[in-house]
Structure 1
Amino acid sequence: MTGVLKRYRQEAACQLHDARTWYAARSFDDLAALTADWLKGDLVRHPNGHHTGPDPETLPLLGALAAANRGGFLTDGSQPGELETFLGRPWRQRAFVSGFVADHLLALALTEQAAAAGLLVRAHPPRIRHKDAEPGSVDVTTCGDRVNTDCGDHLPPREIWRIFLCCHPHAVRAVIDTWQITLIDPQWGRNTLLWPLLNRL
């Protein structure tokens, strides 16, 4: 019992340390740097409900995602391409990454390079109202005939507050005032197009 209690206390202390570290962030760049640290294992907790590190499917992508965050693309969602079978039904995933870019020139360069490479691009400029944003939804995960996941739509401010729950308001407001960008590989199952592009950021 003593060992279980000790482990619990260590985990609680780690969670508290990480929560304080995230709250200490005051800028967009701070949040991007902490996201890179979380992806590389230096932090266990992420404000968006991830308290045990990245999902297992994200492990092969950690280098590319960390590079993107250190390069100014604050990521909030991603998945690898995949072609599998689940409960006897075909499971398909398109590789995608979504997030935020504060630097206007970087946003333009990133979207132009991605489009030129053949990726689907969904980009919503800063300060656009949610009701005025162009629909951007693209199916990225299907199981048989059912769509499990889509992405690319504009996120209203309340969703960004939810993603960075318990972070300092200064930092969250900085994220709200950025480009929202989603890059999607149109080919199901492929992982050789999107991730090399991110590594070049």
Structure 2
Amino acid sequence: MRRTDRRAWGAARSFEDLARLTADWLEGRLTGHPNGHHTGPDPETMPLVPVLAACNRGGILTENSQPGELAEHQGLLWHQRAYVTGFAGPSLAGVVNELARQNGLLTRVYMPTGRRLLDSGAVDVTRWGDRINTGVGDRLPPRAVRQVFPGCHSDTVREVVEAWQVTIVDPEWGRNDLLWPTLRHALAAHQSLPQREGTDR
């Protein structure tokens, strides 16, 4: 990671700082991310940058994502489900969960204690031929959360550990036009709620 990027991440002192830097990284103002991505987002992520940056500036610290896709790789079908994982305060996590479910999306939401809001466990999100390659939606233990932000201040990372974990997955393989508008709707809906000081980000 470039020295200037390392300094920026090391200087973050809040959950909001990490989210803002993640938006900057998505938009190209930083090239390095503590999780090992030192050349910017993956090419498949570039069309999602506007909505992912909006999530980070709106209170969802995104951790991972992918678009829906139907393709062929080495003679076998390659399928992806659109998904996003991240961290948020309880109010925003609740709004995202409710609107996502209303739109037929799958959700996994965990409180800081590890207690789940509704469903739990991984959801398959990549499939090559008949083989499932990747799943998301399991709860990340504190140690795994810390591994996402190596080199960041311990107090800052503790705020992430103490946030709610949110995963949203589109159940339809290849679809890419439902999850992202739903996220934008959830952000707008949350911003319109009366905010009580100290209750949410």
TM-score, normalised to structure 1, is 0.89
Shift of 1:175: 0.2
Contact 2:108 2:119 (8 Å CA) reproduced: no
> Structure 2, unaligned stretches of length 5 or more?
188-201
Match of 1:46 in 2: 33
SS of aligned partner of 2:176: coil
The within-5 A match list for 1:26-105 is 26-101=13-88, 103-105=89-91
Aligned residue number for residue 136 of structure 1: 121
TM-superposed CA distance for 1:148, in Å, is 1.0
Count how many residue pairs are aligned between Structure 1 and Structure 2.
185
User: For 1:177-188, what aligned pairs fall within 5 Å after superposition?
Assistant: 177-188=162-173
Partner of 1:98: helix, strand, or coil?
A: strand
- Tell whether the 8 Å contact from 1:28 to 1:171 is kept in structure 2 after alignment: yes
Report if the CA contact (8 A) 2:170-2:178 is conserved: yes
Aligned to 1:175: 160
Show structure 1 runs of 4+ deviating over 6 A: none
RMSD of Structure 2 on Structure 1 (CA) = 1.6
The structural deviation recorded for 1:82 is: 0.3
Aligned-residue offset at 1:197 = 1.8
Equivalent pair of 1:48/1:163 in contact (CA under 8 Å): yes
Letter in 2 for 1:27: S
**TM-score between the two structures when normalised by the length of structure 2:** 0.89
Residue from 15, 20, 23 that aligns with 2:7: 20
Deviations 1:83-123 (A, max 9, x none): 0000000000000000000x211111111011111110000
In terms of mean alpha carbon deviation, does 163-172 or 133-142 score higher? 133-142
Identity among equivalent pairs (%)? 56
SS at match of 2:29: coil
What is the aligned counterpart of 2:108 among 117, 122, 125? 122
1 CA distance for matches of 2:55 and 2:170? 16
Aligned mates of 2:119, 2:93 — CA distance in 1: 17
What's the CA shift for 1:198? 2.1
Higher helix residue share: 1
Cα pair distance change 1:33/1:191, threshold 3 Å: same
C-alpha displacement of 1:129: 7.2
The 8 Å contact of residues 61 and 86 in structure 2, kept in 1 or not, is answered as yes
